């Protein structure tokens, strides 16, 4: 009978052969999940414990899926983002660590509190409205809602399946009563201006989507609707910016996640569609262009 340590070693070798970049980590996550959502540290504490045939069969079923390069997050059904766990499935993009920059910037872009009097009782959050465009799993809107408990939110997505998932995540984290979910294209369903627009839009170009450099996990499993930014990767952003001008209150702000090579192009677009705005591009922890910030 094989023990935990041996099973992990065999699984890691299988995933290396399949071309998975994080083979050992993937094997640990999948085995821990198959054993009843154990913590990964459990695997080391009980490394010499034997696994029975039923346990090995359950794990092998997950391992086969990963060998086909299905993302681990889809296999286990969840992904952590901004310290919160989100349900995910193939209808939504898997949350990325780099998108946390958008949430951090949204929380710090302005003082959401009244700057006169006692801030503990003079709070502007109840007056703040925020919309997340292309909400997917809802991770951006929900992370913001957890940190701005008196703000109101709108979450828009073209996919009804994505909205259903986002609503489940909102209920899980206790913020569903403050998020209005709207189905539609970009900002069209929004009926009144807001203070802040945040979005992680599709910004991958057609050439990138078919290039050998893009991972099979992305090209074969994640929703094309959430990735495809057209021939130059900017088609969705190009449609969003003129809508944003009409849907932002005076003094409002727009945050748009972008591709690492798109900084100069999106600044030019923002200057065209948002004349007079304070525009900058923020870099992520890797030093790559990641976020367009436009403040009216």
Q: Other C-beta atoms within 10 Å of 123: how many?
A: 15
Number of Cβ within 10 Å of residue 188's Cβ equals 12
At residue 118, the pLDDT reads: 43
Check residue 113 and give its pLDDT. 47
Quote the DSSP letter at residue 87.
E
Which is the CATH superfamily of the domain at 82-295? Vaccinia Virus protein VP39 (3.40.50.150)
The confidence score (pLDDT) of residue 116 equals: 37
Burial class (CB in 10 A: 0-12, 13-18, 19+), 54: exposed
pLDDT at 126: 54
Taken in order 107, 109, 114, 116, is the CA torsion positive or negative?
positive
Residue 119: predicted pLDDT: 42
The rounded average pLDDT for each run of 10 residues, N- to C-terminus, in the chain (296 residues) is 96 98 98 96 96 97 98 98 98 97 92 45 65 98 94 97 98 97 98 97 91 85 94 97 96 96 97 96 96 97
Q: Which two tokens stand for residue 64?
A: 């086969």
What is the per-residue pLDDT for 208? 87
Give residue 124's pLDDT.
Answer: 52
User: How much is the pLDDT for 115?
Assistant: 38
């Amino acid at each position: 009978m094989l023990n935990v340590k041996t099973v992990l070693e065999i699984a890691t070798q299988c995933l290396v052969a399949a071309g998975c970049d994080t083979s050992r980590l993937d094997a640990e996550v999948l085995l821990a999940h198959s054993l009843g959502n154990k913590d990964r540290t459990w695997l080391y504490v009980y490394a010499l414990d034997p696994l029975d045939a039923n346990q090995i069969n359950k794990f092998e079923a997950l391992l086969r899926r990963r060998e086909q390069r299905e993302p681990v997050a889809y296999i286990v059904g969840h992904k952590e983002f901004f310290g919160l766990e989100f349900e995910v499935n193939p209808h939504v993009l898997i949350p990325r660590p780099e998108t946390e920059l958008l949430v951090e910037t949204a929380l710090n872009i302005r003082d959401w509190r009244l700057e006169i009097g006692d801030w503990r009782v003079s709070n502007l959050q109840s007056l703040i409205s925020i919309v997340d465009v292309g909400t997917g799993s809802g991770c951006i809107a929900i992370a913001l809602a957890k940190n701005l408990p008196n703000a109101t939110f709108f979450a828009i997505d073209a996919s009804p399946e994505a909205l259903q998932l986002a609503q489940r995540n909102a209920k899980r984290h206790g913020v569903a009563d403050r998020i209005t979910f709207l189905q539609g294209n970009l900002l069209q369903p929004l009926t009144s201006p807001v203070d802040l627009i945040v979005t992680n839009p599709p910004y991958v170009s057609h050439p990138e989507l078919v290039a050998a450099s893009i991972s099979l996990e992305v090209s074969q499993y994640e929703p094309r609707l959430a990735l495809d930014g057209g021939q130059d990767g900017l088609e969705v952003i190009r449609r969003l910016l003129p809508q944003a001008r009409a849907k932002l209150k005076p003094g409002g702000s727009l945050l748009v996640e972008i591709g690492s090579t798109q900084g100069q192009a999106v600044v030019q677009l923002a200057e065209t569609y948002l004349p007079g705005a304070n525009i900058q591009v923020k870099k992520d922890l890797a030093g790559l262009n990641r976020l367009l910030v436009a403040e009216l």
